[in-house]
Amino acid sequence: MKIENEFTVSPPVATVWEFFQDVSSVAQCLPGAELTEDRGDGTYAGKVSVKLGPMAANFEGEATVTPDESTRSGSIDGKGADRRGGSRGQVKVEYTLTEADGGTKVRIEADVTLSGAAAQFGRTGLINEMSSRLIGDFVNCVEGKLAAETPEAAAEVKAADVKGFTLFLESLLAWLKRLFTRR
């Protein structure tokens, strides 16, 4: 399934690019994510906890981050498995930073493949709706970290906990509303 999103943050491109190179700080802004190990050469181990209504998954895996400073873009290749629930996931993310109205526009394109119990949620627009809401949380966290006056204050800024059932319900209602509005 393809997920595309773009957002604008107020700091300039150089500042946002520098922030994106600090994978640990970026991971702190991803709801449900935890970086557990830097394996070197751009490869990281981590966990992502997801609760989608009645389904909960705790993916453990690794991702390789490949930045391209000349184009202010990069890619992330990740894979993980939920040992308890038997779900597996792979993601390929491409991101690009460009100047926009005195700030930075971030464009993200992700190709997500799910198998097992988690795959049932990928068959609808629900994953896209939920990802839009999670990206909103990510943007707020990035803005907070970049606006912090000290490195200590920036370290305190983290993504809010994902309230799975609430997120699921809000996303489901928004998706259904859009579905019926089109008809």
Match 């894979």 to its residue by tokens: 79
Amino acid at 41: D
Better-predicted residue by pLDDT, 115 or 53: 115
Q: Is the per-residue pLDDT at 154 higher than 60? A: yes
Name the fold adopted by 2-182: Alpha-D-Glucose-1,6-Bisphosphate; Chain A, domain 4 (3.30.530)
- Residue 44 vs residue 172, higher pLDDT: 44
- Better-predicted residue by pLDDT, 175 or 122: 122
End-to-end Cα spacing for the chain:
23
From residue 152, alpha-carbon distances to 62, 117, 171 in Å are 27, 40, 34
Q: What stretches of the chain adopt beta strand conformation (E)?
A: 2-9, 33-40, 43-52, 55-68, 73-81, 88-100, 103-115
pLDDT digit string (tens) for 120-130? 665 555 566 66
Q: How confident is the model over 74-131, as pLDDT tens digits?
A: 999 999 999 888 888 888 999 999 999 889 999 988 888 888 876 666 555 556 666 6
Determine contact, residues 118/89, Cβ cutoff 8 Å: yes
Residues 175 and 126 sit within 8 Å (Cβ to Cβ): yes
Res 103: pLDDT: 93
Contact call for residues 121 and 127 (beta carbons, < 8 A): yes
Average pLDDT on 163-179 reads 49
Q: Residue-wise over 27-56: b if at least 16 C-beta within 10 A, else e?
A: bbbbbbbebeeeeeebebebebbbbbeebe
Q: What is the pLDDT of residue 174?
A: 53
Q: Where are the domains of the chain?
A: 2-182
Give me the residue label for tokens 């996931």. 89
pLDDT score for 75: 94
Q: Is 57 exposed, middle or buried (0-12, 13-18, 19+ CB in 10 A)?
A: buried
Q: How far apart are CA 57 and CA 86, in angstroms?
A: 9
* Residue 44 pLDDT greater than 90, yes or no: yes
